[in-house]
Chain A
């Protein structure tokens, strides 16, 4: 089986499996974040559970970080290999005649998402790691804030309109990435995306609705803080 993952198809399958994992994570992340629109208390409680649960923190979180790093590193490795497969470019190439912009530019939408993840980590993940693992504060409380701090921190971040615009642009790139990535991942693991129109429809719905949902959450907190 190790030989399989060294082959071009094996790498493609590995890329698809990491994509499935990340798409599932995205769905779960959205499901928690949307709670912030409906109930501050529920959002705080779920956030505290996710932030302090042993399984989430010490099993799922490392797996997630590995999944993210693997997807990006493998994406770059494959991109370099693919560039080497055509060392002299066409003088005239009409890519739009036979493929979508999204499918031809996964590396660029991926880079935009990577830049967003850096911003997102600076905004939320690094401060969280600092609070819990460096300062040793696992209470979820903060001076001057009644109850848990998570909802308050979320709203504070989206006060700045520049940050909101950055998040909206990043989610548009995420949508473009998923538009091709969802069906492509199924094709890579041997699924017949040609015939399974239903799967393609689910892919399109997922690619539009999830990023749109995240955009809604960012805008909601910007205008309701």
Chain B
């Protein structure tokens, strides 16, 4: 298939960006979206032009690095996939595809489609862990009874790969689905409950410091999340913070 791509080009974090049109030809419908971008970049390099910078790593939907906003949706029009799992069969011959970086004040553009998502790392560092000394005398985790329901919900929350699609999709650039998932995955398990109050207080405080917007429960984050993280996690985070504050 032959496509027209409208891509956000931005020299560096300080430069003013703009949309630039490119043509790509003979794209196979079996290619992934990132493979199509590779074809474009080969064309650009062969012409002596600067290739389009974009994030990618595992290319199998696990690392959460690919971060494009394709035709007005994070990770493109398919559901439950990251950009690397998006296939060109989702588009038609002759389509014009708009490709932009994830937009949020807390996700500044570094170059072209690459954004700085270290704000997520700082939120995680504020409390997204368990302070257990694992030097040899720790109790075997399997000896602590955990209900199937709690274990399943914790595992569902832990599916979050921190890609930032929730922030990119939210009209308010809210990070509450990400933080809610991180708070929930520990709050649901006995190992995480010891530090639950400090965790939620510190992570929410860091989230607010980073300049993310406020959740207005539109549900866009849940729909666009490649891992199906539920809004239930935001409700749980709200309950956890209320509990921690009284």
Q: Which residues of A contact B (CB under 8 A)?
A: 1, 3-4, 7-13, 78, 81-82, 84-95, 97-100, 103-104, 106, 180, 183-184, 187-195
Contacts and interface: CB of A to CB of B under 8 A. Distances in A.
Interface stretch (B128-136, B144-152, B208-216): B208-216
B100 A190 contact: no
Interface size class of B (residues with CB under 8 A): 35 or more
Select the residue from B98, B171, B204, B216 with max chain A CB neighbours within 10 A: B216
A180 B238 contact: no
A4 to B, nearest CB: 4
Given A4-B242, A82-B171, A98-B223, 8 more contacts: A9-B237, A78-B216, A85-B212, A86-B172, A88-B103, A98-B224, A103-B216, A104-B171
B72 A82 contact: no
A90 B104 CA distance: 10
CB-based closest 4 A-B pairs: A94-B72, A85-B213, A190-B239, A82-B172
B204 to A, nearest CB: 6
Interface string B147-179: 000000000000000000000010111101000
B219 interface: yes
B216 A7 contact: no
B11 interface: no
A72 to B, nearest CB: 15
A92 B100 CA distance: 8
A103 B237 CA distance: 21
Nearest to B98: A92
Contact of A190 (B103, B104, B216, B242): B242
B19 interface: yes
B235 A90 contact: no
Given A7-B204, A97-B72, A98-B73, A91 B235 contact: no
B203 to A, nearest CB: 11
Contact of B105 (A85, A93, A94): A85
B6 interface: yes
A187 B213 CA distance: 17
Given A98-B219, A103-B216, A86 B105 contact: yes
Interface in B93-111: 98, 100, 103-106
8 contacts: A9-B238, A81-B214, A86-B172, A92-B72, A98-B169, A98-B218, A187-B234, A194-B232
A7 B174 CA distance: 13
B62 to A, nearest CB: 23
B54 interface: no
Contact of B245 (A1, A85, A89): A1
A73 to B, nearest CB: 15
Contacts of A8: 174, 176, 204, 207-208, 212, 214-215
B236 A194 contact: no
B171 A191 contact: no
B235 A98 contact: no
Given A97-B77, A190-B238, A91 B232 contact: no
A78 B213 CA distance: 8
B1 interface: no
Contact of B217 (A9, A95, A184): A184
